[in-house]
């Protein structure tokens, strides 16, 4: 069993442009979003510089514990000092005095997060609104726009043209709703079905996207090549020659399956307001000087 982290806990976002200090593990578990953990948008340390292991439990709650391995006080001090100096021209804290840095950060950035029930209630309301919007946007009855044919094998493996993003879709509706017609017109995506047949992307109008099997023979070698090139950057198993196409497909499904999140509008506005308030807070700090 891993050791309990020393309090308080200091949580940064992935770009070190936001910082939160939590006095208890319970408060941190409420303040940190599951979405951010899934997207690897947060990391942190305890007060002694031990890295934190942030994870999502089986019952979809945030778990926080001290990561295995030694403390990294130098890295912690460097990251914390870099953040704080973004708000204050000079810190009158001697190098190596981590306790003083933590106290300084706690004085200005201690969070008392909104309770999870309120966030969940807000998220449910937004989810209902978004469901209505999606329903209203879908064509009803007969339409003059030709719909694509759906003769392909699921799941669908879709890459962006630069090869820096991969999504795996278990159904056609999610795939078509995920992409933008403008990007389709720009040729930003390519993909394959589960049998290696290339996909054809259609802009049905200025909003809706259609996906169908292209009029080409299956290209399992191309699917394998693209999956291997993408997956090997994050998983050494993809470099094993014995990991064939079915193995690569299973890895992609496990790690990159797209899950529709009806709360994404909430996350969008939350992140936007967070960045706005961070900017305002930084400007106010500069004006005080």
Distance CA 185, CA 179 (A): 11
Query: What's the alpha-carbon Rg for the chain, to the nearest Å?
Result: 23
Number of domains in the chain: 2
Expressed in angstroms, the distance from the first to the final Cα of the chain is 47
In a domain, 132, yes or no: no
Cβ-contact 181, 251 below 8 angstroms: no
pLDDT at position 49, please?
Answer: 93
In a domain, 266, yes or no: no
Cβ-contact 152, 197 below 8 angstroms: yes
Residues 27 and 96 in one domain: yes
Alpha-helical runs (H) found in the chain: 25-31, 34-38, 73-84, 98-109, 116-137, 172-178, 181-185, 220-231, 245-256, 264-288
pLDDT at position 138, please?
Answer: 44
In a domain, 238, yes or no: yes
Domain boundary among 60, 94, 113: 113
**For residue 263, what are the CA distances in angstroms to 29, 37, 121, 131, 276?**
19, 15, 11, 10, 20
In a domain, 141, yes or no: no
Closest CA to 16 of 45, 38, 47, 55: 45
In a domain, 64, yes or no: yes
> What are the b/e assignments for 216-253, b being 16+ CB within 10 Å?
eeebeeebbebbbebbeeebeebeeeebebebbbebbe
DSSP 156-195: EEEEETTSS-EEEESSHHHHHHHS-HHHHHTT-EEEE-TT
In a domain, 136, yes or no: no
In a domain, 65, yes or no: yes
Q: Which domain holds residue 17?
A: 9-113
**For residue 280, what are the CA distances in angstroms to 61, 247, 266, 284, 285?**
31, 49, 21, 6, 9
pLDDT at position 115, please?
Answer: 46
pLDDT of the chain, 289 residues: tens digit per residue: 567 899 999 999 877 678 899 999 988 988 888 878 887 888 999 999 999 999 988 877 889 999 888 899 999 998 898 888 776 556 788 899 999 999 999 988 886 654 444 454 454 455 455 545 544 444 433 333 444 455 789 999 999 988 778 999 999 988 998 888 878 888 889 999 999 999 999 988 777 899 999 989 999 999 999 999 999 888 889 999 999 999 999 999 998 887 665 555 555 666 667 667 666 766 666 555 5
Q: Exposed, middle or buried, 58 (CB in 10 Å: 0-12/13-18/19+)? A: exposed
> What pTM did the predictor assign?
0.45
Distance CA 134, CA 149 (A): 22
In a domain, 122, yes or no: no
């Amino acid at each position: 069993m891993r050791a309990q982290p020393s309090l308080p806990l200091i949580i940064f976002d992935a770009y070190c442009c936001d910082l939160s200090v939590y006095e208890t593990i319970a408060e941190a578990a409420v303040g940190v979003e599951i979405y951010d953990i899934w997207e690897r948008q947060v990391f942190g340390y305890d007060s002694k510089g031990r890295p934190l292991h942030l994870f999502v439990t089986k019952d979809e709650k945030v778990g926080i514990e001290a990561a295995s391995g030694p403390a990294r006080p130098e890295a912690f001090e460097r990251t914390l000092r870099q953040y704080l100096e973004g708000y204050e021209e000079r810190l009158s804290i001697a190098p190596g005095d981590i306790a003083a840095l933590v106290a300084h950060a706690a004085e200005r950035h201690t969070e008392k997060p909104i309770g999870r029930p309120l966030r969940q209630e807000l998220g449910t309301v937004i989810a209902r609104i978004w469901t209505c919007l999606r329903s209203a946007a879908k064509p009803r009855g007969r339409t003059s726009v030709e719909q694509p044919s759906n003769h392909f094998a699921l799941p669908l493996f879709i890459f962006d043209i630069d090869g820096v993003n991969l999504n795996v879709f278990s159904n056609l509706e999610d795939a078509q709703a995920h992409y933008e017609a403008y990007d389709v017109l720009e040729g930003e995506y390519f993909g394959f079905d589960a049998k290696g047949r290339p996909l054809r992307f259609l802009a049905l109008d200025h909003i809706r996207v259609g996906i169908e099997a292209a009029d080409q023979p299956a290209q399992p070698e191309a699917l394998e090549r693209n999956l291997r090139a993408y997956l090997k950057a994050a998983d050494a198993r993809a470099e094993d020659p014995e990991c064939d196409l079915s193995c690569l497909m299973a890895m992609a499904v496990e790690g990159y399956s797209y899950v529709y999140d009806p709360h994404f509008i909430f996350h969008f506005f939350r992140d936007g307001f967070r960045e706005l308030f961070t900017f305002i807070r930084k400007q106010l700090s500069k004006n005080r000087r």
